[in-house]
Amino acid sequence: DAKTTQPPSMDCAEGRAANLPCNHSTISGNEYVYWYRQIHSQGPQYIIHGLKNNETNEMASLIITEDRKSSTLILPHATLRDTAVYYCIVRGTLNYGGATNKLIFGTGTLLAVQP
């Protein structure tokens, strides 16, 4: 699985968009970009994933560059409850029974949403 690089920390004002970058320059063609977040003292929570196209769900948007070497997670209107560590993970999603599909976490980005 490809490695990812994220800034260790970011600040964002409440109500503003939070844009969290991730570099994954060694990503291969069949690998997806996943984002999870971990609020203090809780288990990680799935946010969104994508392969090539931009994706949006009720939590966030994911913008993947055309060369797929980097991506940005966007929280459109950050709230205090979005303060968490955000993990960008690159992983193949294989559809045969033997695939483990384990997650390999880095140290993530600590997003601090300020009032």
Partner 1 sequence: DTGVSQNPRHKITKRGQNVTFRCDPISEHNRLYWYRQTLGQGPEFLTYFQNEAQLEKSRLLSDRFSAERPKGSFSTLEIQRTEQGDSAMYLCASSSGQGVYEQFFGPGTRLTVL
Backbone angles phi, psi at 74, to 5 degrees: -120, 120
CB of 13 to partner 1, least distance (A): 26
| Residues 6-65 close enough to bind partner 1 by CB under 8 A | 32, 42-46, 49
Selected from 26, 52, 103, 114, the binder of partner 1 by CB under 8 A is 103
| C-beta of 21 vs 92, nearer to partner 1 | 92
- Smallest CA-to-CA distance from 47 within 66, 55, 8 is with 55
63 burial (CB, 10 Å; 0-12 / 13-18 / 19+) is: middle
| C-beta of 15 vs 106, nearer to partner 1 | 106
- Smallest CA-to-CA distance from 5 within 26, 22, 29 is with 22
| C-beta of 70 vs 109, nearer to partner 1 | 109
C-beta separation of 105 from 87 below 8 A: yes
Residues that contact partner 1, how many (by CB under 8 A): 21
| Residues 67-96 close enough to bind partner 1 by CB under 8 A | 85, 87, 93
